[in-house]
Amino acid sequence: MKLKLTLLLLLLWGCGGSSNTGNKEETQATNTPPVVEASDPMLNMGIGPVKSVTLGQLNQEMADQGKLVYETMCTACHKLDKKFIGPAPIGILERRSPEWIMNMILNPVEMTQNDPIAQQLLIEANGAPMANQNLTEEQARQVLEYFRTL
């Protein structure tokens, strides 16, 4: 019986061919090569759409917008001054690169799967995932600017 099953599997395999396209999103998520852990976390850009952020002079208007976004979308799990469900954002710019922060906001599922820092944070939070609140890249940038004022 076992032999027949193996044979069956082989046959099924052989039938696959070009029709076996699978779920594209899923393949992308699992095929992303793991990021090599950087010794300095400030050099880790994270995984996601944000490749490079230049921080100029503080833009207060942008920061004010970011405060509004943060208060609506993030405060269920993040308190400013202490770890709540997730870490407190105070001082985050001394711990993480701006790119990493934005990628964590914009792409949390992939980050917690493949980014070593995010993986560690997920474990520290006992598996409570960072929710993807579907911020736009502009909103994530505003939140980052707000974090600079803290």
Partner 1 sequence: MEQRFNNFAALLIMIGILSSCGSGGNQGSGALVSDAASQVYVPPGQHDEYYAFFSGGFSGQLTVHGLPSGRLLKTVPVFSVDAEKSYGFNEETKPLLNTSYGFIPWDDAHHPELSQTNGTPDGRWIFINGNNTPRVARIDLSLFETVEIIELPNSGGNHSSPFTTQNTEYVVAGTRFSIPVPQKDVAINSYKDNFRGALSFISVAPEGEMEIAFQILMPGYDYDLAHSGKGKSHGWMFFSSYNTEEEHTLLEVNASQKDKDFIAAINWKKAEEYIQQGNFEEMPSSYVVNRYDESTQMASSEKRTSVKILIPEKCPGLVYYLPTPKSPHGVDVDPTGEYIIGNGKLSSDMTVHSFTKMQAAIQNEAFETVIDGIPVLKYEEVMDGVLKQAGLGPLHTEFDNKGNAYTSFFISSEVVKWDPKTRTLLDRAPSYYSIGHLMIPGGDSMNPWGKYLVSLNKITKDRYLPTGPELAQSAQLYDISGDKMKLLLDFPTMGEPHYAQGIAASVIKDRQVKFFKLSENNHPYAAKSAGETRVERQGNTVHVYMTAIRSHFTPDNIEGIKVGDKVYLHITNLEQDWDVPHGFSVMGALNAELLIMPGQTETLTWEPQREGIVPFYCTDFCSALHQEMQGYIRVSAKNSDVALKWSLDE
Binding site for partner 1 (CB under 8 A): 1, 4-5, 7-8, 11-12, 14-15, 20-23, 26, 71-73, 75-77, 84-85, 126-129, 131-135
Cβ nearer to partner 1, comparing 2 with 33: 2
Cβ nearer to partner 1, comparing 28 with 38: 28
Tokens 């207060």 — which residue? 60
Minimum distance, C-beta of residue 115 to partner 1, in the bound complex (Å): 18
Q: Give CB contacts under 8 A, 24+ apart, made by 118-125.
A: 118/46, 121/86, 121/87, 125/85, 125/86
How far is CA 124 from each of CA 70, 84, 98, 120, rounded to the nearest angstrom?
22, 12, 22, 6
Cβ nearer to partner 1, comparing 58 with 72: 72
Tokens of 112: 């917690």
Minimum distance, C-beta of residue 121 to partner 1, in the bound complex (Å): 14
Tokens 């992303």 — which residue? 32
Minimum distance, C-beta of residue 146 to partner 1, in the bound complex (Å): 15
Cβ nearer to partner 1, comparing 55 with 123: 123
Cβ proximity of 37 and 95 under 8 Å = no
Minimum distance, C-beta of residue 125 to partner 1, in the bound complex (Å): 9
